[in-house]
Amino acid sequence: MTIRVLLADDQALLRATFRLLVDSADDMEVVAEAADGREAVERVRAARPDVVIMDIRMPGMDGIAATAAICGDDDLAGTRVLILTTFEMDAYVAEALRAGASGFLGKGIGADALLAAVRTVAAGDALLSPTATRALISQFLAQPGPPADGAAAALDVLTTREREVTVLVAAGLSNDEIAQSLFVSPFTVRTHVHRSMAKLHARDRAQLVVIAYQTGLVQPRSA
């Protein structure tokens, strides 16, 4: 199956470069481009891509607002957003993850890594394993403070094992690492992750992490 990609960036040269790269892959194609967030939302609704490669800093509606509009639209539930940024913009990336983005990449990423990231996000997984992303979660997604009223009750639908797996997902562990920790197979872990996502209505692994912190299932470490 071909992965349909939309490119959202205000720099035409970057869009052209990414288009050449994506179209060079046998399993994906660029179906649309956008120069700002508002155009990105409109093009997503028209083209229904599988993955949006989204810049954050764009004129008018920025990438965060566009991500929130896309991920908050039930009709676009099949579209995943992959943020492109730099580590100097960590706070913006955290906001994008809260808005529903499935992960982020630095603009200096290599060609093979970018294509692999698109495939990962298209498959419903998220880019939450690298050390830099774990630091992101701890610093921005997991600000100290009590969970919202009634948030913890949302976890009642999870089994004890599903809670345990969700905690480890929120810690940034991969399925293989969780499997080693719990002495089960990666397939079993993947099953628990997907059941937890379904029960908590999480779009993907990234949103499952956000929910884990918002409900108080996982507490941030002190600085």
pLDDT-derived band of residue 213, with 50, 70 and 90 as boundaries? Answer: confident
Number of domains in the chain: 2
**163-188 average pLDDT score:** 90
| pLDDT value at residue 8 | 97
Euclidean distance between CA atoms 172 and 139, whole angstroms: 13
Most confident region among 39-53, 83-97, 145-159 by mean pLDDT: 39-53
**Quick one: tokens of 98?**
């809260």
161 pLDDT higher than 60: yes
Residue 114 and residue 166 in one domain: no
Same domain membership, residue 65 and residue 103: yes
Has residue 141 been placed in a domain?
no
Q: What is the pTM of this model?
A: 0.70
- Residue 146 in domain: no
pLDDT, greater one: 104 or 58: 58
Residues 52, 113: one domain?
yes
Q: Which residues contact 165 (CB under 8 A, 6 or more apart)?
A: 178, 182, 189, 192, 193, 196
CA 37 to chain centroid: 17
Residue 31 lies in a domain: yes
pLDDT at 223: 43
- Which region among 52-56, 145-149, 154-158, 181-185 has the lowest average model confidence (pLDDT)? 145-149
User: If you average pLDDT over residues 101-127, what whole number do you get?
Assistant: 83
In a domain, 182, yes or no: yes
pLDDT of residue 66: 96
Q: Is 169 in the same domain as 106?
A: no
Name the band, by pLDDT with cuts 50, 70 and 90, for residue 136.
low
Band (pLDDT 50/70/90 cuts) for residue 82 is very high
Same domain, residue pair 109 and 168: no
Task: Give the CA radius of gyration of the chain.
Answer: 17
- Name the residue among 3, 53, 52 with its Cα closest to residue 27: 3
Residue 131 pLDDT class (50, 70, 90 cuts): very low
E strands, the chain, are 3-8, 28-34, 51-55, 80-85, 103-106
Where is mean pLDDT largest: 111-115, 151-155, 202-206? 111-115
Is the same domain home to 88 and 186?
A: no
CATH of the domain at 122: 3.40.50.2300
**Local confidence band at 146 (pLDDT 50, 70, 90 cut-offs):** low
Is pLDDT at 166 greater than 70 in this prediction? yes
Question: In 3-state terms, what secondary structure has residue 77?
Answer: coil
Residue 134 counted as domain residue = no
For residue 103, what are the domain limits? 3-127
